[in-house]
Structure 1
Amino acid sequence: MAGVNSLSEASAWIEPLEQLGYEHVFHEAFPARRFFRKGMWRAGTHHLHVYVFQSEEWKNQLRFRNYLRKHSAERQEYETLKKTLAQRFPYDRTSYTKGKESFIKAVIEKAKHLERSGPAC
């Protein structure tokens, strides 16, 4: 993940990243993100997500990552979900992504709740 002051800054990265083997992939469903992929879908070796630094989207990515790092049951559940969706939708990235959406949102909400409630006593 990379942070920028404005998503328009990522436009200047398209050509240099293409020279490194990355493809810019535009997703209408994610207007607050720019995405670059290196390698073929499903076999891609690198994904670069670009968000406005310290935006809510930026913070949610970190919340999700940090929550899974601390909660092994949810991390395992997410791994299983991704494998199941990959088998179910091997050539349908939209359905694969949509299939993860409710899980990701739920984890982010759990992480936000923990932030609001503060550290356990």
Structure 2
Amino acid sequence: MKVRELKIRKVVLNVDPKIVISEYKEHWALEYQSEKEKIIDALGSKIIGIEHFGSTSIKGMAAKPLIDIMLSVNELTGVETFIEPLAQIGYEYVPKLDFPTRWFFRKGLWRAGTHHLHVYQHNGVEWQQNLMFRNFMQSNLDAANEYMQLKKELSIKFSNDRVSYTEGKDKFIKSIIFEASKNN
């Protein structure tokens, strides 16, 4: 489906494309490494850190086949200068006014993207929480399996509703961040 068709489908039918959870793929880590190099080549010293996060960064985790990458910068002011160099490597800036402490870029079609790029202030709350969640899940197999099961259940229950799917994960994610923060 093309972007226009996906947007029309969302407006007319008020449904998102089906949420697909894939079994873990070894190539996700390689895909991240390849994309990381492209981003560093495009932005250079403007970035402080770059990390693979989200479910595709957790070995063995079933996930939507979408590579989540986060960048850190000293200050979010000036990130607008990233729009053009990132566009050159296929990323589209997507304004998210309800998230003022994050800049968001997508690669791929609307609701069918291949990569999401999140830009945060280095060592800001969101940066730290994303790392805590990822690191906790990578080292706690029981929690990772519980999360994987939750995601599979939510993808069935909310198969065409990304907002409800995401909201359904929220309580679990917050509990893991709380647990992980006790160890930091």
Query: What's the TM-score once normalised by structure 1's chain length?
Result: 0.81
Q: SS of the residue aligned with 1:8?
A: coil
Percent of aligned pairs with the same residue? 50
Deviations 1:14-50 (A, max 9, x none): 2222222212223344322112121235542211111
Alignment partner, residue 98 of structure 1: 167
Long gaps (5+) in structure 1: 116-121
Read off the aligned partner of 2:100 and give its amino acid letter: P
After superposition, the Cα gap between the structure-2 partners of 1:96 and 1:15, relative to the gap in structure 1 and judged at 3 Å, is farther
Deviations 1:40-66 (A, max 9, x none): 355422111111001122111110110
Higher-RCO chain (CA-CA 8 Å, sequence separation at least 6): 2
Long gaps (5+) in structure 2: 1-69
Equivalent residue runs for 1:76-87 within 5 Å: 76-87=145-156
Deviations 1:74-96 (A, max 9, x none): 11222222233233334433222
Answer 1 or 2: which has greater helix percent.
1
Query: What's the TM-score once normalised by structure 2's chain length?
Result: 0.56
Read off the aligned partner of 1:36 and give its amino acid letter: F
Matched residues in 2 for 1:17 and 1:45: separation? 14
Equivalent residue runs for 1:1-121 within 5 Å: 1-41=70-110, 43-115=112-184
Matched residues in 2 for 1:20 and 1:91: separation? 29
Residue 105 of structure 1, CA deviation: 0.7
Read off the aligned partner of 1:83 and give its amino acid letter: K
Residue 3 of structure 1, CA deviation: 0.2
Residue 68 of structure 1, CA deviation: 0.3
Q: SS of the residue aligned with 2:92?
A: strand
Give the alignment's Cα RMSD to 1 decimal. Answer: 1.9
Residue 108 of structure 1, CA deviation: 0.4
How many residues are matched? 115
